[in-house]
Amino acid sequence: MKTVTLGNSHTAVSDVALGIMRMGSLSRKRAAEILTSAKEIGINYIDSADIYGNGTSERAFAAGMKEGVLKREDFFIQSKGGIVLDPAKSSGDVVFGQRYDFSKKHLIDSVDGILERMNLDYLDAFLLHRPDPLMEVDEVAEAFDYLQSSGKVRHFGVSNFNPQQVAMLQGAVDQRLMFNQLQFGLMHTGAIDFGLHTNMIDDASVDHDGGVIEYSMRKHMTIQAWSPYQWGTFNGTFIDNPDFPEINQKMQEIADQHDVSKNAIATAWILRHPAHMQVILGTMNPEHLRESAAGSDVRLTKQEWYDLYLAGKHTLP
């Protein structure tokens, strides 16, 4: 498996990460199986959040680590915080927030809870989980300073922030913001569509994200692509979906040429971008994880990349 260098650091990790949002429903044995499989295929990066499964995902991770006799050093472990759950709308793996809270107390309490649930002494990284319009950057700075100086968090980042939000926060904190988690994949391409349609007036020319990919590249922030196989936001996967025959046919053609699965091709399409992104895979099926992560070792040609883009009914001027 190939690696990616995180932010402006010298830390190289797998360019595919395992997201544990759905781990809360797994038994100790099954959690150990997926974590062991991740290690065996070269994935050494774990992504979590304090709200996943209302905390059960992180407890299942701890149980799986113990059951699988895995070491803390086997993984670079990150989690996210800042969302306050809405109990009325949250059940099992499906969770929704009722507000955001980037206060110093909430962020510190969030990390403490994460460490307790995951049975860890420290996090390799802690990310703010979606932007809060009521964010007071001085409080975030105080929280980051405490979390770093206490040894509880080593690196910091954000999730779903636009460039202005990143710049505002970066101007207040001493720690380098190394990551930004963004939804990106073959059927979620708005962050690149507008650039292709510069100086045009069609729908694709609208920049919804402030040039976040270009900004991240200039600032050496690692983009972590979440829900890489989803269309829309929570609409489901486009892979093997009969509503998307063209993209599935093209993925299968290219997959056959590279002797991998369609999932691997969807992964490879993201990794072909020169931003050197990292793909977060959320499957809890070891075989599915292996198939999807195999995209790390596929280097698409530029023509293959564009053929897939066009098969997704995206357009070129």
Domain range for 150 is 3-240+270-283
In a domain, 26, yes or no: yes
pLDDT at 170: 98
In a domain, 316, yes or no: no
Distance CA 304, CA 301 (A): 5
In a domain, 87, yes or no: yes
Backbone dihedral angles phi then psi of residue 31, each to the nearest 5 degrees: -65, -40
In a domain, 111, yes or no: yes
- 259-303 confidence digits (pLDDT tens): 999 999 999 999 999 999 999 999 999 999 999 999 999 999 999
How does the average pLDDT of the chain come out, rounded?
95
In a domain, 103, yes or no: yes
- 36-63 confidence digits (pLDDT tens): 999 999 999 999 999 999 999 999 999 9
pLDDT exceeds cutoff 90 at 74 = yes
CATH number of the structural domain spanning residue 35: 3.20.20.100
- 153-203 confidence digits (pLDDT tens): 999 999 999 999 999 999 999 999 999 999 999 999 999 999 999 999 999
- 89-122 confidence digits (pLDDT tens): 656 666 777 889 999 999 999 999 999 999 999 9
What domain count does the chain have?
1
Q: Where are the beta strands (DSSP E) in the chain?
A: 3-5, 12-14, 16-19, 45-47, 76-81, 83-85, 97-100, 123-129, 153-159, 177-183, 222-226, 278-281
Q: Specify the pTM.
A: 0.95
Question: Which of 159-168's residues contact partners 24+ apart within 8 Å by CB, and which partners?
Answer: 159/80, 159/127, 159/128, 159/129, 159/130, 160/130, 160/131, 161/128, 161/131, 161/212, 162/131, 162/209, 162/210, 162/212, 163/210, 163/211, 163/212, 163/215, 164/210, 165/131, 166/215, 166/219, 166/221, 168/137
